[in-house]
Amino acid sequence: MTPELQRMDWMPSPPLAPIDSPLDLDHLSRMTLGDAQLEREVLAMFAEQAARLIAAMTALPAEAGALAHKLKGSARGIGAFAVADAAASLETAIRTGHGRPHALAALKEAVTEARTAIEAMLKP
């Protein structure tokens, strides 16, 4: 291994096996460096952003692909991989013109599950 690669801090990849929760809490902890308060803030921001983006995408406007892409990135950042996968599927459906309503419905369902899990975590 070259010296440059030896010094580099590697971040683990998301799990290959499905997890039982809509959120990968280990991934979230890594992304927030284990700061519980930051995790709560990030989760609250994601829940709000996801609701806004889903509302904006409901009629599948011309910018729906860009909105889905934004949601995909945010979801990956917090470990909401089912949301990220559903957003990627919507991006593909929009690009190909096939299955857009189904892909949007799947994304809405994934976001609802993630937001429900977030709300449960954020309860005092």
CA distance 121 to 20: 15
The answer to whether 60 and 104 are in contact (CB under 8 A) is: yes
DSSP assignment, residue 11? Answer: P
Nearest alpha carbon to residue 74 among 96, 98, 95, 45: 45
Q: What is the pLDDT of residues 5-38, one digit of tens each?
A: 555 455 555 555 556 789 999 999 999 999 999 9
Q: Which residue in the block uniquely carries the two structure tokens 């917090």?
A: 78
Q: Is the pTM of this model over 0.85?
A: no
**pLDDT > 90? residue 4:** no
Q: What is the number of alpha carbons within 13 Å of residue 52 lying toward its C-beta?
A: 10
Q: Tell me the CA distances in angstroms from 64 to 14, 15, 22, 105, 119, one per residue in order.
A: 26, 28, 23, 13, 26
pLDDT per residue as tens digits for the range 60-111: 899 999 999 999 999 999 999 999 999 999 999 999 999 999 999 999 999 9
Do residues 13 and 30 lie in contact, with contact meaning Cβ atoms separated by under 8 Å? no
DSSP letters, 39-55, are: HHHHHHHHHHHHHHHHH
